A and B are shown apart, each in its own frame.
Chain A
Amino acid sequence: MAKISDISKEKYKYLAKLEQMFLTCISCGDCREAVDITADPPKDGVCVAREHTSGFEPFFSRGKMQIIRSIWQGKLSLSKDLAEVFYQCPTCNACSETCAYDMDNATVYEALRAELVEAGCGLESHASMNQAMVDLFNPYGRDNKQKGNWIEQLDFIIKNAITEKAEILYFVGCTAALTPEIQSVALNTVKVLKKMNVDFAVLGEHEVCCGSVAMRTGDRRAFNSVSSKNREIFEKCGIKTIITSCAGCYRTLKIDYADILKELEIEILHTIEFIHRISLEKTIPLKNLELNVTYHDPCHTGRHTGLYEEPRDILRRIANLTEMKNIKENAKCCGAGGGVKKGFPELSLEIAKSRIKEAEETGTDYIVSICPFCYRNLSDAIKALNSKIKMIDLLELINQALK
């Protein structure tokens, strides 16, 4: 008779790869609400999903790990009911940060989501989004030609990576390219790059979604479809470096495309990382704008990839930075990621409202970030709260600060 684990390995191919990881959880529960004023930075709770739901154990990591273990042991089946809970997690990985055993929880959840999708238990709202990504190359279901619209607002010409040679590709990302209110991120990025005399190109209407939302929501078929397409494009363009001003694209390209980019010998940098590097190398003068700002760490540039100091270093040079209570490794998620905004917009908004309230406590005028998706969700929260604080992308400030 086959052992349960052998049956599970056969049945759950994505979880099988992570068996050792999820079986390592000892159920200590530190991932529930660790509070520690002595930590550097201080820690005031962990799981935003737990904080904004009924708070039962399935809403934070220990419960999720126990559920996954039960599925693995054949005691539970995948179901739509179960999916409802797993998809209310923004995969911010704050639980991983607090784990004494260094579990990469988000990776485990993504594997479980992949199993849910393959079992037909994924969310309908995610399925249509991911199908659009495959069919139209963006998850918004828009004609991908519109990805070039923002370029028309420029009063200078930028290179097209398909037709012109450039070693650096600016990968704009679907949200900044297709959302009129957030196109300023793309516009400011290219203005800054131009001011810094960077030779770069963009893909415009040929830019294919990186597949972040597909990966985060467990649709591996959609992810594989766009990632192989992107591989072809990157190779064809002969680029050496990809820079992106989207935290989601950055995390996806850096971690989920790691093998592809290594093979193609392409370096991936967040725009802020890139600008920080250049500004140090070339000692580019930045003027202080005398604005009072606070900074929100996107999960994908923070906990997922460790980019904490570069944005702060730049911000301190161009503005007066006051930190929020929960920052860096312990920053609270904006609530948009992991497919939560699409699947559970109300929950997503509630989480974002908490973050805005935290920002308001600093008494600053602006909340700055480096992620178009955080930008969008936090802007929604500002509107819902009728808050006086203003959302701004760091690139916009840098553009203003560059003489």
Chain B
Amino acid sequence: MSKIESAYKEIEKFIGPDFISNKDFVKAAYSRNVDPAFPDRWADMIVRPESPKEVSEIVKIANKYKIPIVPRGGGADLVGGAATDEGILIDLTRMNRILEINEDNFYCIVETGVTWGALVSELYKKDLTTGILGPGSGYSATIGGGLSNSTAGFGSTKYGLVPDICLGVEVVLPNPKGAIIKTGAASNKYAEPICRYGVAPDFTGLFMGSVGTLGIITKAFLRLVPNSPYKIRKNYMLNSDDYTILFQLMNKLQREVRDGLHDLYITPKMILDLLSTFVKKEDKPPKRPRIKGPVLMFILEAFDERILDVYIEQVDEIMKDHARPFEWTEIDTSYDLTKDWKMNLKFPYNYFNKFIALIPGRISCTTCHKVPIASMAEKKQLSTEFDITHQSEFPPWSMAAFASSIHLLPNGHCVFAGGFNAENREDQRDASMKLWHKKVRAQVRYGGIHYWLGESISQSIVESGAYTPEFIQFFKDIKKAVDPNFLLSPKKFHMYNYEDNLSKYVVNNE
């Protein structure tokens, strides 16, 4: 009996035959995430545990037989993080209970397989929210995925990234004992999980953005805030395609409007031009749209209608010399007017779909990264130069943009959300993957900070030579401490064993 078969039998004993499978069609069903470049990857088996205890048992057996393990949340990952071509794929979506919503002390305890849509819906019933509403895939993405990928999403301009609302986690460590630990205030077994800092070093942070390399997050303690009753959306189009002016406006908005800014999203001019060419004939506006610059979409929020009016006045005042009010109906008449807009979950959770597959069938090789707002013009230029220089390497009919959307974060930086698209076809994968890595390396070298790292991006950062040898050693030491057999999420960060020298993956002369 092979070690895979032995492990299968042992796991089946406690999890039951209904929640483990090694059937080919089940492996095929779990073989992809949302990206076109990775090949289909078939795990040796897929398991669906329902408790941290079961996860712990799986980890113990994986260690016994030295079989790799990869956790998977909603599987909405864009960077190859939640599929594997070997070992045990752990589908965590069965662990989807909301265990406590503490209205008195503004926190909640959830299993990490719960989706953002489910949690936020439950919180809204109590006029509460997580602030950041999770990633753009919030209908399917899980809390665990949001934490493991340090995700931004709607609400991030004000409330920050997903880890910023995390007060602690329960984690199954990938060591031979499958140890279960809690971090943050919850590491004090006598305390409620009310805060993240104080009781010990911030071990929560170890697992934020670790893309499943250091532990399997099974529970999360999240900070809650009251949900503001007054929200409004406003759009402006900049009078010119000038990113220096855009920076100045963003800086001013942060200084003066601050808490009123639930979100500021910017759609670059080239994306507007592109979207206007995709409009269905029946939805074309009577006049050809005049697109002079990027569109800024504000979501403003307040707890008092009078304060919201003040925010609106402030934004109007800041924008008046450089932009004009804009309606999407100028490009596509099927869109709603901003006056008819209401905050609902479909808006944030479907917002990015049009960018992920601008043309159906072609999916984004995503390169979302953060840059300082003062450097937007420079980074835009560098990114565009990369695309021009490497034009011949793009897959057929691929489109690339320095950003499909720009999202302001709480202080002076923003996300350039974007990438290039490619078809999910065997004959294009190699070229797409090579270009994807190369593009990310270029972004890393101009100072871009990627956050969903998955497999492709984490490897590209290593390849760029961005990490110092000391940092890599520190990372490996920590990895070895929690995962001595290097079984959890192998391949991410090109980290396969303790002895391996990561410098050999650095790609020079680019």
Contact = CB atoms under 8 A, between A and B. Distances in A.
- Is the pairing of A and B real? yes
Given A28-B76, A30-B137, A101-B357, A56 B426 contact: no
Interface stretch (A33-41, A334-342, A370-378): A33-41
A36 B346 contact: yes
A33 B137 CA distance: 12
Nearest to B33: A27
A44 to B, nearest CB: 8
A38 B346 contact: yes
Interface residues of B, number: 49
Contact of A28 (B140, B344, B361): B140
Contacts, number: 131
Nearest to A45: B118
A66 B18 contact: no
A66 B32 contact: yes
Interface in B17-32: 18-19, 21, 23-26, 28-32
Contacts of A101: 353, 357, 360
A58 B91 CA distance: 13
Interface stretch (A73-81, A196-204, A218-226, A290-298): A73-81
B74 A67 contact: no
B28 A75 contact: yes
Interface in B347-401: 349-350, 353, 356-357, 360-361, 363
B140 A29 contact: yes
A23 B424 contact: yes
Interface string B119-136: 001101100000000000
Contacts of A38: 121, 124, 343-346
A81 B124 CA distance: 42
B340 to A, nearest CB: 13
Contacts of B487: none
A130 to B, nearest CB: 24
B46 interface: yes
Contacts of A85: 25
Interface string B1-42: 000000000000000001101011110111111100000100
B331 to A, nearest CB: 19
Contact of B32 (A4, A27, A55): A27
The secondary-structure label for the interface of chain A is: loop
Contacts of A23: 361, 424
Contacts of B31: 66, 70
B184 interface: no
Contacts of B21: 54, 56
A58 B137 contact: no
Contact of B48 (A27, A54, A67): A54
Nearest to A79: B25
B41 to A, nearest CB: 11
B138 to A, nearest CB: 9
Given A27-B33, A34-B117, A37-B121, 20 more contacts: A4-B426, A23-B424, A24-B357, A28-B137, A28-B140, A29-B140, A33-B118, A35-B121, A38-B346, A42-B121, A54-B48, A56-B29, A57-B29, A58-B25, A70-B28, A73-B40, A76-B25, A79-B25, A100-B350, A101-B357
